[in-house]
């Protein structure tokens, strides 16, 4: 018996990193998976490698190894029609939608007045508008299914506490708090809970981005904003984040909606 037997979960940005891990762990607990990823370059300003179609194929393989069913498609969260097509296909196949992890995102660095318009606009389009398009695509299907559910929006410590060198990223992740709280208020009557999670660094291609080190070498005093209370192993494993996602996905968190769950090694408190 899995904790999520018979449930269906949709994960964006599932080709690798946190999204892949959530998909695998959901499948292990009995859920069927709908997944999407852009599987390619998104912004010229990213300083870490892009995910590939082979990465998404690997997610499919790993989910199936857990005995899970999965529909995985290459799609861009900036394109609402593409997102809706994947959701519709998944719901037609699996019959319902219970859990959503709006996880797709990018990160890049610059001081705000030196940031080209395109660097700002592309990141806001993906992280903030793309998450809104994701929630817009899934909500009618969840309401129609009538089973309630849980939407988990992936923000960041930068959505609670401003980090220098990240005006675009912080603005997008603070924006997700507003979206999360509005969505929670509008979806409560349908028994759909909406919460955001706020990780500090996580061991993924984004979390180990060499661009962040360059920024800190140039402006060493920015390091103060990255201090943590828990100092032994400040970078989280993807499983650490999935633990919180599993809790928010399940009935154990049935009292929690509109909340910001800090998975932050204490960073937002120092």
Ligand X SMILES: NC(=O)c1ccc[n+]([C@@H]2O[C@H](COP(=O)([O-])OP(=O)(O)OC[C@H]3O[C@@H](n4cnc5c(N)ncnc54)[C@H](O)[C@@H]3O)[C@@H](O)[C@H]2O)c1
User: Closest separation between CB of residue 132 and ligand X, Å?
Assistant: 13
User: Closest separation between CB of residue 176 and ligand X, Å?
Assistant: 9
Query: Where along the sequence are the contacts to ligand X (CB under 6 A)?
Result: 12-13, 15-19, 37-38, 42, 51, 76-78, 103-107, 126, 130, 154, 156, 199, 201-202, 204-207
CB closer to ligand X, 11 vs 192: 11
CB closer to ligand X, 124 vs 143: 124
Dist. CA 178–CA 192, nearest whole Å: 17
190 included as an active-site residue: no
CB closer to ligand X, 38 vs 91: 38
CB closer to ligand X, 154 vs 192: 154
User: Closest separation between CB of residue 232 and ligand X, Å?
Assistant: 17
User: Closest separation between CB of residue 54 and ligand X, Å?
Assistant: 12
Q: Which residue of the set 45, 48, 169, 200 is catalytic?
A: 169
- Among all residues, which ones are annotated catalytic? 169
């Amino acid at each position: 018996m899995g904790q999520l037997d018979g449930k269906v979960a949709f994960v964006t940005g599932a080709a690798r990193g946190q999204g892949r891990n959530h998909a695998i762990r959901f499948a292990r607990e009995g859920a069927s998976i709908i997944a999407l990823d852009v599987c390619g370059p998104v912004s010229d300003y990213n300083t870490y490698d892009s995910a590939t179609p082979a990465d998404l194929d690997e997610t499919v393989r790993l989910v199936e190894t857990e005995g899970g069913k999965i529909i995985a498609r290459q799609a861009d969260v900036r394109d609402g029609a593409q997102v809706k097509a994947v959701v519709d296909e998944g719901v037609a196949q699996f019959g319902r939608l219970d859990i959503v992890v709006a996880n797709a995102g990018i990160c890049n660095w610059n001081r705000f007045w030196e940031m080209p318009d395109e660097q700002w606009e592309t990141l806001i389009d993906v992280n903030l508008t793309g998450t809104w398009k994701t929630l817009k695509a899934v909500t009618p299907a969840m309401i129609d299914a009538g089973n309630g559910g849980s939407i988990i929006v992936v923000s960041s410590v930068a959505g609670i506490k401003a980090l220098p060198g990240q005006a675009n990223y912080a603005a997008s992740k603070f924006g997700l708090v507003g979206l999360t709280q509005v969505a929670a208020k509008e979806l409560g009557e349908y028994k759909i809970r909406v919460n955001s999670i706020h990780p500090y660094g996580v061991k993924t291609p984004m979390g180990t981005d060499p661009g962040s080190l360059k920024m800190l070498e140039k402006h060493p005093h920015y390091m103060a904003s990255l201090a943590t209370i828990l100092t032994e192993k400040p970078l989280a494993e993807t499983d650490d984040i999935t633990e919180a996602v599993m809790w928010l996905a399940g009935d154990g968190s049935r009292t929690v909606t509109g909340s910001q769950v800090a998975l932050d090694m204490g960073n937002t408190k120092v």
